[in-house]
Structure 1
């Protein structure tokens, strides 16, 4: 037990403690971070600055809305694929499951670069497909016929739509496999009895499957929320850096604040602490709800 606690402390608590400490100081140079210069005490000034900043409020809104949309889409798609895999035969389920897991096994950086090429404004697949539409139809539907040079990543709405597509594509296989594992553990007698009683797939799911797998779905929702709140790699690659401020979310906002000139390491650390607190609250609410359900 003690070795496990030491490992957890070294890998999780110590870095988190360092971030909290940094957030209480006014750090604006690498020499300060390295301990070569004095750390000016700031107290809660960094937190007051970000919490009263209208831009931070916009970033927080972007993050919450993005996470809600992605969690919902990922859970729905992953559950549907899990149900499909459960109904398929062994060979077909193995084939489809293997294809699905390719998306999950693909590194985030590699997958995002591929999606960025797909939406490239000159040679991308999506641009080519839209240019292949008849000019009259394209003009009638979208108001333009030539899509070469169209900036798919320039407008916040289109950027977040593509980012959502990338995140859902990369995340739903884990949900699907987890739901499939839960379905395999259900007593087949209950589902068979429901079929005999005339219950359709929709009613069987909501009356039997979902109540029995509620803890599984709860854990998946919490994990998806955590992952979607701290999305960084995909957004950084699609945006090409930290210049597109209207599409900022908390993770990339923390990074840009800390490392973009002029660097503000203390302020960036404070943003990271706020993000961590939000995720801890989400996790705490779920654990409390789960414990209450077990007591009942």
Structure 2
């Protein structure tokens, strides 16, 4: 007796995959990504689109509540911002602050990561846990603690500086009495303290990421380098850095994005938006949008400009990665 078995409609002769079956199989990854894309669209793309729309309108409280129609002004908000000299001062503050913090965070985080890699398992686990406490601390909590440390009357830093011998304090800092010294009244000291806070809060992520990258490098490569007589500096630049270049690239981009968007720490240290000499783009956008009278259109335009700057940074990094893969 002969049994006939019918092949599936999407399978060709000899069991080959037909174009229909191939198309169905190619759709599977997109279907699996669809839920994540929906969530991203709802939580990120939709609000971002609303901000872009608002940047082309002149909005107050009544317009935002729907009591009045939105008066469209086209590119007037962008023209007003880009034509304001204060915007370029704020942009300069933001760029300089971001560059300084990215460099310090990357250097300090990399050094800590290299240290963790040389420690034993137990000590490395203990130090990593202690370091990650800074990363786990909310930005608001950390800013409040640091503001107390630099309080001009009862702060720990003020007390320590007052305990220094007067001659030493005069030689190093030009003053012997620190009680009443306003750390947040001068842009230089304000940004110094703010840099300490941001670096303290950011370096643990860099350190742990570098440590994870170091664990993926075969130990035989380091042993061969030591046999050849290479010192620590030479080993890092000739072996560690080239192998971890993709990791460092991602960390630099992430650090740049985070440091461009610093808001909470600055808002807490400054006590609001009164000190315009220390403005950066994030708090500048907030001040324009919510300071009376509120100008939500101007604030949205500044936020869009900040987003475009960060997209440019990301695009430059992606292009560098693609060039390295083509080589």
Q: CA shift at 1:34, angstroms?
A: 2.2
- In the comparison of the two structures, how many residue pairs are matched? 295
1:134 and 1:175 map into 2 onto residues whose CA distance is: 37
Stretch deviating more after TM superposition (189-198 or 248-257) = 189-198
CA-to-partner distance for each residue in 1:183-236, whole Å, 9 max, x for gaps? 001111111111111111111111111101100000000000000000000000
2:171 and 2:325 map into 1 onto residues whose CA distance is: 57
4+ residue stretches of structure 1 with deviation over 2 A?
134-145
**Structure 2: gaps (5+ residues):** 1-32
1:172 alignment counterpart: 203
2:65 and 2:40 map into 1 onto residues whose CA distance is: 24
Q: 1:80 aligns with which of 111, 125, 128?
A: 111
1:249 alignment counterpart: 280
1:89 alignment counterpart: 120
2:40 alignment counterpart: 8
Does the C-alpha gap of structure 1 residues 194 and 165 become closer, same or farther in structure 2, counting only changes over 3 Å?
A: same
Tell which structure's C-alpha radius of gyration is larger: 2
**Structure 1: gaps (5+ residues):** none
2:61 alignment counterpart: 30
Stretch deviating more after TM superposition (8-17 or 271-280) = 8-17
CA-to-partner distance for each residue in 1:83-129, whole Å, 9 max, x for gaps? 00000011111111111111111111111100000000000011111
**Normalised by the size of structure 2, how large is the TM-score?**
0.89
Stretch deviating more after TM superposition (6-15 or 221-230) = 6-15
Q: 2:243 aligns with which of 187, 212, 237?
A: 212
2:229 alignment counterpart: 198
2:142 alignment counterpart: 111
Q: CA shift at 1:136, angstroms?
A: 3.2
Alignment of 1:16-55 (within 5 A): 16-27=48-59, 29-55=60-86
Q: Secondary structure at the match of 1:289?
A: helix
Q: CA shift at 1:35, angstroms?
A: 2.0
1:264 alignment counterpart: 295
2:318 alignment counterpart: 287
